[in-house]
Structure 1
Amino acid sequence: MAAAEESIETVQVTATRLPESAGDVPADVSIISGGELRERQAQDLSTALALTAGVEAPAGGDAGPSSAVPSFWGLHEFDAFLLVVDGVPWGGAFNPAIPDLDFNDVQRVEVLKGSAPVAFGATSFVGVIQMLHYPAGEAANHAELAYGNHDSWRGAGSIALPQWGDWRHSFVADWEDRRFAVQRESVAAGHFLYRAETPLGPGTLRFDADISLTHDVPPSPIVRDGDALTDRTPINANYNPANSKMDENRYHANLGYVLPTGWGDWSTLVSFAHSDIRDIRGFLRADLTDTGDPNADSFDQHRRIQDAYADTHLTHKLAENAELVLGADLLYGLGRQSSANGEYFVPLSGLVLPPPTTAIHVDETNTIRDKRVFGGQYAEIDWRPLSALDILAGLRLNETFEDKNSGHLDGFNSADDEFAQDESRTTRLSGMIGASYRAWKEGGDEAVIYANYRNAFKPAAIDFGFEFEPDVLNPETADSYEAGIKGALAGGRIAYEADAFLLNFSNLVVATTNADGEPELVNAGGERLKGVELETRFLLTPDLSLAANIAWHDARFTHFVFDEGNGPDDVSGNQLTLAPHILASAGLLYTPPQGFHGSAVVNSVGRRFLDEENEAPAPSYTTLDITAGYRFGRWDVAFAGTNLTDERPPVTQSEFGSSSYHLLPGRTLWLQLGAAL
């Protein structure tokens, strides 16, 4: 659904390889226009997805303040969804590269609920987010400069460059320096994107080059003490080592070619990315001692990640009412990391700067070299046997391989050194089938009924933590069922979608604590996600729109027994951690081409539990985001505020710190000057 100033977006390219009306796709697809994102000054996933029913994406988490942890269908996991940028899985065979996302010059964002289409392979279970920038030779043609609270600032620009013959190209650049209420927490990040396209022979050649420079100083998560977060540590204290940082330089390029043939368009895309990462952090221990003895664990990590993606597919028109896509793809990832770990003492008052890792003894060095190859062949058919009936089916043969080499070098006794190798190889089918039926249409009004079944599997993710965890976890699998109705009323001025789902999960990877009190990732036996979501958009006038959404989720373990050192604990039947039953949002957008403009967005998150035992409840909370500005000619002056209620609830469980939780970032305020180029 789009901003009031633009026509409602109807075409998507995420659920199907071919562009198709979102109203015909037998799945829940939401489209957020670039105009709306700029109107709401959405600079991150949390703000961008604020008006998408049933989705939350609180900023921060273990990947740093530049990141986020999206939640779909009640599952709050950093790796359970697929992130795609301009057709490329962003993060490759490892984890979604959210810190490297750039919302500058975005044309639209597409959100698909449920597992990824067969064309994207073994990559997700509960959702797909695809960010699409303007094509080469086009751009938002906009520049902006903004100043914010805590002495923050940012600047950005995008421009369609002058055409060189048939060579169409554009350039996007931005930089930000953000500060937060938490001591020392900061983000300094820059993004640079060059896009080009030109005819080559009978086809079209496309090229993208992207550089992302991210330099975060992370906050400290808050430790849970019993059934609530501790009140012994100030909310804005930072217990990370004095030299803590999360620096990543990521370089990405892709090359694509579309060749018309007698059988249809043959499309090929090849992508490669390289990341250099330095990650220095520390975590308070769960016992929260304050006696001068070590009460925190540190790590100093050097990480290098290389990932590649290749896809080639042929689109063939079988008949006037049927199209077939045949393709093959490959995801390759190689991750290498060395983690020097130690322990240190920091007063809980938060008034003393902790020591740097250079002053902390290295108690152990853990290494990992993980190679992943996810390949497959797929077929997808879109058949319309009747003008009102659309059938979509896909089948994929997955071939995955992982080789993991781990090492533990003891800092006190070399006799305790360990080395291990584990691997996993899987070949299996996955697929989907769905249908949509236009039950009613009159003018701009319509009602489309749809349903689908999807079967998916995904090799378990690794979090590049600091522990020695040599085992390759079991693949995660899921079967999902979805049905809904979507359409338009009032001459097309009201868009609506109601959706119900049921997903049965096996071997979900969850964060827990082992018998030694250390965090670890394990396979949980079984989970069930079910719920109902309603998303609406009312076009009150050509410049004024109202959005209202609500979702009810029930995400539970069906079978999970674990041991934290006090004997087996059976949590079967309990809610998943940080999985609220109720999510609701509402927004008002006023977007005339000149004069006053603004938006207001309210998000409400229901009560949830911090632990698998469901003994530590977290209360519900509500946030308010507002923008207000004035456009005159090519200029625009605007104010933006996020989380104006300054709520600071726990929103993400750390997979590194034992019983630790990241809080929602505090209030942010921005004053921005923009200009059309």
Structure 2
Amino acid sequence: MKLRCQIALLASAGIAGLASPLFAQQAAQQSVQPPAAAGPADIIVTAQRRAENLQDVPLAISVVDDRQLAASNITTIADIQFLTPGVNFNSNFGGGFNVRGVGTQSLLVTAEQSVGLVIDGVIQGLPEVSFAGPSYQSLTDIERIEVLKGPQGTLFGKNSSAGVIQIITKNPRLRERTMDATLSYGTDNEVKASATLNIPLGANAALRVNGIMQRRDGFVENRYNGRDLWGYQRYGVRAKLLFEPNDTLSFLLTGEYRRLKDDANGLWTLRNCGSGFSTFNPCALVAPYGIVAGPNNLATAVEGENYTRQTNKSVSLEATLETGIGTLTSITAFRDLLQPIAVDTDATPTRTYSYNQNISGGKQFSQEVRLNGDSGILTYTLGAFYYRATPFQKGINGGTLSYLPDSSDKILSTTAIGPGAGAGYPVDVRAKVKSWALFGQLEAEVVPGLTLIAGGRYTNDRVKQTIGYFDVGFICQTSYAFGEPCHPATGIPDPTTARTKADKFTYKLTARYDLTSRINVYVSYARGYKGPMISYPKGQPQEAVRPETSESWEAGIKSTLLDGLMTFNADIFKVKYNDFQGQQRIGTPPVYYYTTTNAGGLETKGVEADLSIRPTPRMQIAGSLAYIPTKFTEFAVQCYDQYTNPATPIGQCTYIQPGLPAGAPAQFNAAGYPLIYSPKWTYTLRGDYSIPVGNAMSLALHADWNYRSSTYGVVADKNSINKGYGLLNGQISFGREDGGWTVALFSRNLLDKYYIAGIFRTPFDAGAYGTTPLSTLGYSNIPTIDSGRTIGIKLDVSFGG
């Protein structure tokens, strides 16, 4: 690993050295300019699928630009949750982004997120269930990130019922030859290196190539073998080719390859000890290694494999044509995702459940055609969208379950998918998802100052899923431990296929009124929709999960003051969700499985505010606040009132959610409890100041503070509450004012605040059902790599212009 880092450092230095003569002449001709004095109001976004000033868009939007990303020194896209209030990332068991408290947590291959992710106009629809994080973590050369809050289905599609995170990377620039490179080194051998070349190809074309490498050592000690877990390596390369044959036509071809490797895959650490099950007790098994369960535990002892190996390949072509009726845009995209993962699920040095290896991923194709134009007072967007995906998941899951000795050449299956789950065979799930839509939006200033906007979308979804099983020889049904054959005499279960479909018309109505040329207010009403999926409960037929729908109200104000040097935006909102698609863990201890059902309804409401001011051309201060008290209006969760640390009140386990498999255990209606991974309060403060020091040099100071209040990790389980915390980041940089070179000293989590990403119930640590004395649930921590102070140094260089 050290050799790889040295090679990367030498390569970056070599590229810079070779590039210096190439760009020297242009660099010498550049004029020295101080940082731009443009006010915070000069931000252009594409939230309505066309370029507009942020302050003119009647929608709650948070924007993080390239300078903010660079100054904050975040290492993953998921960390934008620390830059934008109301945004959170759930890293546990099939989670993802939450906006205004709402997101999707599901392990189903046909599941889609409630928060849509769009990269350069392409929806990222394939499910990503790796605990190490999604494959887009290491994106670089970013122009800006737009967080669109609330349902955005009209213009962005069905998988945006809670919001959209839109990532826009930088495009090639015609007639410019430039090179930009960044190299940093920090705590735990954290290395981040990236380089970008912009090369003109004649007068009408340009090529932009970006490469990135990130790596860091682990921080969780595996005392079984002395290795540190949770380290990572990320690599990526993106190339963009822009061709503009004339003033009305342009083509942008993008190809990207990303690779992620880690050695933990989200492995947890023990927080509280439970009753174990049978002769298995996690806390007792790791005690000989000096491990004591607790909130600050950063040690484990596991003998099984833990890793993630993500590979993402994508290509897209965006063509734009200026016509007499508007701008016609076509985006054609293909993506291929492969995710082999493994996790030692028993979290001990035994083979109780240490063989949990899965390969998931799929391919997706999308085509969007859009026309943006205007006629008189009318501005319009019309479009069509088609999406096809083939997600899959193939897994081998099992262990001795403490019924077989660790030396056994066989392990017992714990497959919990579909009707053949009990036969002792690994599973192969294949799906086909097809969706098409027609959409449009009309905007008109009907009277001076009053603009009305109406948009609608018709979506048609088709989902097909087939579950098959296969034999690997060394894995058997559980009854093998009690003298039965390895597999039933009936052999490998026949594949089963299920289908579901849905269609929906959704819409959004908005009114904006300009109080002055710099202040406007707006109100909006929207109906949202998230498509159906197919669940596969253990030992049961596949079941269709109905679409999730939402109803949203929002009102806000956008103001630009002090001649454009200050902005203040605020909004209030309320969103109700019906047939919420929720994941829950059900079963009888010690055997559990995850399934996704129409768990009920939820409500999210709140207030958001953003303030930004530039008192001088060299100083900017900004702050954001979100107060979002969420709650379930209905959510059936399994009861645990037989335990000594009950997650639900004793005697209230009488609710049965319609649609669950026959024989499902008693349930508790979690109405009134908050959503998981949804803090009620979040806020950020940010300050930037540059000081000229002569000879065209400047000293720049940056600091940002973010805070989030406590959150639940498990629905209605007060033992899973993660305390609130605040993080301080800072950077001091020195360099040329024209950006030719800059050296910076940076710190993330400067105050060394320890925190964890979440709390959940430890697998195989819940005793047996109905025991006397009562059993106790065990809980585990999800560690996070920035839970300690990171200090580093960074060099940025730029040539050409």
TM-score band, normalised by the shorter chain? 0.7 to 0.9
> Residues 400 and 544 from structure 1, CA distance in 2 versus in 1: closer, same or farther, beyond 3 angstroms?
same
CA distance in 2, matches of 1:184, 1:357: 27
Q: Deviations over 1:452-494 (max 9, x none)?
A: 1111111256899999984342221111111111212233222
The reply on whether 1:80 has 2:141 as its aligned counterpart is no
Q: Deviations over 1:590-629 (max 9, x none)?
A: 2468422121111111123333224223322111111222
Partner of 2:755: 649
Partner of 1:385: 446
The reply on whether 1:263 has 2:294 as its aligned counterpart is no
Partner of 2:700: 597
> Residues 600 and 464 from structure 1, CA distance in 2 versus in 1: closer, same or farther, beyond 3 angstroms?
farther
> What is the SS of the residue equivalent to 1:440?
coil
Q: 2:97 aligns with which of 70, 75, 81?
A: 70
Q: Which has the larger displacement, 79-88 or 489-498? A: 489-498
> Residues 421 and 650 from structure 1, CA distance in 2 versus in 1: closer, same or farther, beyond 3 angstroms?
farther
> Residues 614 and 632 from structure 1, CA distance in 2 versus in 1: closer, same or farther, beyond 3 angstroms?
same
Q: 1:623 aligns with which of 701, 716, 727?
A: 727
> Residues 212 and 464 from structure 1, CA distance in 2 versus in 1: closer, same or farther, beyond 3 angstroms?
farther
The reply on whether 1:476 has 2:541 as its aligned counterpart is no
CA distance in 1, matches of 2:77, 2:430: 30
Partner of 2:76: 44
The reply on whether 1:588 has 2:588 as its aligned counterpart is no
CA offset at residue 314 of structure 1?
2.0
What is the one-letter code of the residue matched to 1:150?
A: D
Q: Which has the larger displacement, 503-512 or 612-621? A: 612-621
Q: Higher helix share goes to which structure?
A: 2
The reply on whether 1:452 has 2:514 as its aligned counterpart is no
> What is the SS of the residue equivalent to 1:36?
helix
**Over aligned residues, Cα RMSD in angstroms?**
3.4
CA offset at residue 129 of structure 1?
1.1
Is the 1:622–1:645 Cα contact (8 Å) retained in structure 2? no
Q: Any residues of structure 2 matched to 1:341-490 within 5 Å, and which?
A: 341-343=397-399, 364-409=425-470, 411=476, 412-414=486-488, 415=490, 417-418=492-493, 419-441=495-517, 446-460=518-532, 470-490=542-562
> Residues 105 and 7 from structure 1, CA distance in 2 versus in 1: closer, same or farther, beyond 3 angstroms?
farther
CA offset at residue 105 of structure 1?
1.4
Partner of 2:186: 148
Partner of 1:351: none
Is the 1:497–1:534 Cα contact (8 Å) retained in structure 2? yes
CA offset at residue 432 of structure 1?
0.7
CA offset at residue 85 of structure 1?
1.0
Partner of 1:207: 253
What is the one-letter code of the residue matched to 2:751?
A: T
> Residues 19 and 632 from structure 1, CA distance in 2 versus in 1: closer, same or farther, beyond 3 angstroms?
closer
Q: Which has the larger displacement, 357-366 or 162-171? A: 357-366
> Residues 144 and 424 from structure 1, CA distance in 2 versus in 1: closer, same or farther, beyond 3 angstroms?
same
CA distance in 2, matches of 1:356, 1:313: 62
Q: Any residues of structure 2 matched to 1:606-621 within 5 Å, and which?
A: 606-616=709-719, 617-621=721-725
Q: Which has the larger displacement, 399-408 or 626-635? A: 626-635
Q: 1:519 aligns with which of 584, 594, 597?
A: 594
CA offset at residue 130 of structure 1?
0.9
CA distance in 1, matches of 2:632, 2:201: 56
**TM-score, with structure 2 as normaliser:** 0.75
> Residues 75 and 448 from structure 1, CA distance in 2 versus in 1: closer, same or farther, beyond 3 angstroms?
same
Is the 2:362–2:389 Cα contact (8 Å) retained in structure 1? yes
CA distance in 2, matches of 1:193, 1:466: 42
What is the one-letter code of the residue matched to 1:74?
A: G
CA distance in 2, matches of 1:190, 1:387: 53
What is the one-letter code of the residue matched to 1:572?
A: A
CA distance in 1, matches of 2:587, 2:297: 29
CA distance in 1, matches of 2:434, 2:293: 46
> What is the SS of the residue equivalent to 1:23?
helix
Is the 1:266–1:314 Cα contact (8 Å) retained in structure 2? yes
5+ residue gaps in structure 1? 347-354
> What is the SS of the residue equivalent to 2:188?
helix
The reply on whether 1:579 has 2:678 as its aligned counterpart is yes
> Residues 240 and 542 from structure 1, CA distance in 2 versus in 1: closer, same or farther, beyond 3 angstroms?
farther
CA distance in 1, matches of 2:400, 2:172: 51
Q: 1:30 aligns with which of 62, 84, 88?
A: 62
The reply on whether 1:328 has 2:389 as its aligned counterpart is no
Is the 1:465–1:656 Cα contact (8 Å) retained in structure 2? no
CA offset at residue 147 of structure 1?
1.2
CA distance in 1, matches of 2:160, 2:216: 31
What is the one-letter code of the residue matched to 1:191?
A: G
Q: 1:636 aligns with which of 715, 733, 742?
A: 742
* Aligned length, in residue pairs: 651
Partner of 1:349: none
Partner of 1:350: none
> What is the SS of the residue equivalent to 2:718?
coil
Q: Any residues of structure 2 matched to 1:281-292 within 5 Å, and which?
A: 281-284=343-346
CA offset at residue 135 of structure 1?
1.6
Q: Any residues of structure 2 matched to 1:163-312 within 5 Å, and which?
A: 163-182=201-220, 183-200=228-245, 203-217=249-263, 218-222=265-269, 225=272, 232=293, 235-238=297-300, 242-284=304-346, 295-296=352-353, 298-312=355-369
> What is the SS of the residue equivalent to 1:329?
strand
CA offset at residue 160 of structure 1?
1.0
The reply on whether 1:136 has 2:172 as its aligned counterpart is yes
Q: Higher strand share goes to which structure?
A: 1
Partner of 2:87: 55
Q: Deviations over 1:362-394 (max 9, x none)?
A: 654121101111210111112122342222221
> Residues 18 and 386 from structure 1, CA distance in 2 versus in 1: closer, same or farther, beyond 3 angstroms?
farther
Is the 2:127–2:391 Cα contact (8 Å) retained in structure 1? no
Q: Deviations over 1:11-63 (max 9, x none)?
A: 544431222222122211122221222222233235445332322347x5447
The reply on whether 1:127 has 2:168 as its aligned counterpart is no
Partner of 2:656: none
Partner of 2:784: 664
CA distance in 2, matches of 1:383, 1:41: 42
CA distance in 2, matches of 1:481, 1:232: 45
CA offset at residue 295 of structure 1?
4.7
CA distance in 1, matches of 2:461, 2:154: 14
CA distance in 1, matches of 2:191, 2:680: 37
Is the 1:460–1:474 Cα contact (8 Å) retained in structure 2? yes
CA offset at residue 440 of structure 1?
2.6
5+ residue gaps in structure 2? 1-34, 106-112, 221-227, 275-281, 284-291, 414-423, 477-485, 641-664, 765-778
> What is the SS of the residue equivalent to 2:630?
strand
> Residues 584 and 421 from structure 1, CA distance in 2 versus in 1: closer, same or farther, beyond 3 angstroms?
same
> Residues 104 and 13 from structure 1, CA distance in 2 versus in 1: closer, same or farther, beyond 3 angstroms?
same
> Residues 204 and 507 from structure 1, CA distance in 2 versus in 1: closer, same or farther, beyond 3 angstroms?
same
CA offset at residue 397 of structure 1?
0.7
What is the one-letter code of the residue matched to 2:369?
A: T
What is the one-letter code of the residue matched to 2:593?
A: E
